[in-house]
Amino acid sequence: MAITPYLLYEDVAGALKFLSKAFGFKKYGSSYRRPDGKINHAAMQLGDDLIMMGYPGPKYRNPKRLGQATQNLYINVDDVDAHCERARKAGALIIEEPQDTFYGARRYGAEDPEGQISRRASKKRAAKA
């Protein structure tokens, strides 16, 4: 069993490029286009995990349309600080600098150009007493 987030983007092609450059995602499978030629649906992979993404159309709203975040992904990475610098150089807005948490992980937060928020963290270590 797995949970696969489905994120909404006005510019799916732009999201594919940004998520690859900033966060290391790789395109997965085929993408599907709308009648106007723009990408309507695509998927990306990071390690063994997938995310799907699509154009919101008239019935749904993404953070860009709403003006606020609608979710927050939490993704484990090996080197939080290096990952943060990669994301920063690619143009991600760093909303939380790398820090050690009370629950024993190291994490940072980022926002992509369309307002999707995510946190990257190291695997949980034993919490300090």
Helix (H, G, I), strand (E, B) or coil at 11: coil
Cα separation, 39 vs 12, in Å, equals: 6
Q: What are phi and psi of 32, to 5 degrees?
A: -120, 140
pLDDT at 2: 85
Q: For the residues of 98-120, what is the DSSP string, one character each?
A: EEE-TTS-EEEEEE-TT--EEEE
pLDDT at 25: 96
Summarised one tens digit per residue, pLDDT across range 46-62 is: 999 999 999 999 999 99
pLDDT at 1: 81
Summarised one tens digit per residue, pLDDT across range 86-100 is: 999 999 999 999 999
Q: E-assigned strands of the chain?
A: 6-8, 26-33, 39-46, 49-54, 72-76, 93-100, 106-111, 117-121
Domains, the chain: 6-55+68-121 (3.10.180.10)
Residues of the chain with pLDDT under 70: 124-129
Contacts of 14 (CB under 8 A, 6+ apart): 113
CB neighbourhood size of 24 (10 A) = 18
- HSE, CB side, 13 Å, CA atoms: give it for residue 14: 9
Helix (H, G, I), strand (E, B) or coil at 84: helix
